[in-house]
Amino acid sequence: MDDPILTIEERTAINAGRWFSTLSPSLRHDILRCAYVKRHKDGDLLAARGDPPDEWLACARGAVRVSSTSISGKQVTLTYVEPGVWFGDVAIFDGDRRTHDAYAHGETTTLCVAKADFKKILATHVELYEALLRLHARRIRQLYGLVEDLNTLPLRARLAKQLLHLLRSYGVSSLSDSREMRIGLQLAQEELAQLLGASRQRVNQELKAMEREEVIRIEPGGLVVRDREALMRIVESDH
């Protein structure tokens, strides 16, 4: 069921978003004034490939899994949109249809702006054009970085880098040991492998090796990072 009001935690995630927080107060106000809240259960389809773009969205809680389907019919996860990140604007800009499927990963909240309102905000705030160009430039840089890592870094370093990213976005301090942090986003090893462009078996081998080295701990509910500095050293040693 839709809830018209963001919780304090959800509003904080939106306002603290790396991109959204750089906008002027008046632009942020107009975006939030037009926006409405949707709440989703795990696995709910938010947008399907081929759909006409009718909303600009931001993740306020949980995660949005962006995926595509291979020729053989296998679903491949490309990325997870984290709280505070806006997405879905490309299709609105070029007028073409959605290029990927988007699903809720866990209990998820999205903040949505209808296409007509998005266009009105653009007409009112020229600032938004430049801001979106910066957003797209950052995405391109990230994409180039991912392609470079895939071609230059061994799987161990790519895995360590991905775990550090997940830790920054979803890290939760351990109550029993302040040095440890749990990754709050629960990913199956197959899902983690898809993000890294590797097989589940190879990712499992690397995770087991990191566990033996006491860098991480594998638990039924997910991964716990025991030594963040060790993960950073793994990444740096392969650059």
What's the pLDDT tens digit per position in 136-163? Answer: 999 999 889 988 988 889 999 999 999 9
User: What is the per-residue pLDDT across 180-218, written as a single tens digit (0 to 9) for each?
Assistant: 999 999 898 999 998 998 999 999 999 999 999 999 999
- Per DSSP, 119 falls in state H
Digits of tens for pLDDT over the chain (239 positions)? Answer: 455 789 999 999 999 999 999 999 999 999 999 999 999 999 999 999 999 999 999 999 999 999 987 777 777 888 999 999 999 998 888 888 898 999 999 999 999 999 999 999 999 999 999 999 999 999 999 889 988 988 889 999 999 999 999 999 899 887 777 789 999 998 989 999 989 989 999 999 999 999 999 999 999 878 999 999 999 999 988 66
Other CB atoms within 10 Å distance of the CB of residue 151: 7
Q: Give the helix/strand (H/E) hosting 149.
A: helix 127-152
Structure tokens that stand for 91 in this block: 């299709």
Mean pLDDT, the chain, rounded, equals 91
